């Protein structure tokens, strides 16, 4: 009886341990070797294996709510759709390391996205974003921030409080010489990718 109980408890512990490991971010080199799901239904049928999901070019007008049940998801690509918003449920993907939503119609970086503590890459290029939020500094793990081809008119000083930031891509954004100089002084150790300064207000206004 005692041995059986011990075996049952050990088995339960191993299951819990396996679930715990699956719920944690994995190293980037290991993540690169994982399968990329390109069909949401397939990912939902194998949630413990759905670390990477690419739903690019699927004419999505919203992020499917079922997607947020994929708690192990660590790379999400939604490029070239018709997305106008990122819903609050994005905060449920707590282990997300890379989020790419290029070539959509986003206007705002939502506060809920800023709670993703493991996010190292955020790519929102070619959208309609006008402001980088003050709270961008909450993304403590962020290494690459790509916002090229956006009509951004406000760059907060809190960008300098991103401890891991290595690359800030603002190519093809209308940025005045004064703002470019400010960004260079704020981020001396960051690779800044910018077009030549424009003789205009930031954001092209």
Q: How far is CA 10 from CA 22, 24, 48, 184, 200, in A?
A: 18, 21, 21, 56, 67
Please answer whether residues 102 and 128 qualify as being in contact, where contact means their C-beta atoms are separated by less than 8 angstroms. no
**Residues 111-123: pLDDT tens digits?**
999 999 999 999 9
Pairwise CA distance, residues 102 & 125, whole Å: 5
Average pLDDT for the chain:
90
Q: Is residue 168's pLDDT more than 80?
A: yes
Name the band, by pLDDT with cuts 50, 70 and 90, for residue 204. low
Please answer whether residues 146 and 125 qualify as being in contact, where contact means their C-beta atoms are separated by less than 8 angstroms. yes
Closest C-alpha among 183, 175, 195 to residue 159: 183
pTM of the model as a whole = 0.88
Which of 136-149 are b and which e, b meaning 16 or more Cβ less than 10 Å from the residue's Cβ?
Answer: bbbbebbbbbbbbb
Name the band, by pLDDT with cuts 50, 70 and 90, for residue 4. low
* pLDDT in the model for residue 200: 86
Across the range 85-103, mean pLDDT stands at 97
């Amino acid at each position: 009886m005692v041995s059986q109980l011990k075996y049952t408890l050990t088995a339960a512990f191993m299951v819990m341990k396996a679930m715990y490991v699956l719920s944690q971010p994995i190293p980037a080199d290991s993540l690169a070797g994982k399968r990329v799901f390109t069909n949401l239904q397939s990912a939902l049928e194998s949630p413990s294996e759905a670390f990477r999901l690419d739903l690019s070019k699927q004419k999505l007008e919203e992020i499917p709510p079922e997607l947020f049940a994929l708690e192990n998801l660590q790379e999400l690509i939604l490029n070239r759709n018709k997305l106008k918003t990122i819903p609050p449920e994005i905060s449920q993907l707590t282990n997300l390391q890379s989020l790419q939503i290029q070539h959509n119609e986003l206007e705002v970086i939502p506060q809920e996205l800023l709670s993703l503590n493991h996010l190292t890459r955020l790519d929102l290029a070619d959208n309609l974003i006008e402001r980088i939020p003050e709270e961008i500094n909450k993304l403590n793990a962020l290494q690459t921030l790509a916002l090229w081809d956006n009509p951004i008119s406000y760059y907060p000083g809190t960008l300098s409080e991103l401890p891991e930031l290595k690359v800030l891509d603002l190519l093809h954004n209308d940025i005045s010489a004064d703002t470019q100089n400010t960004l260079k002084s704020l981020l001396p150790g960051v690779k800044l990718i910018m077009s030549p300064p424009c003789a205009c207000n930031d954001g092209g206004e």
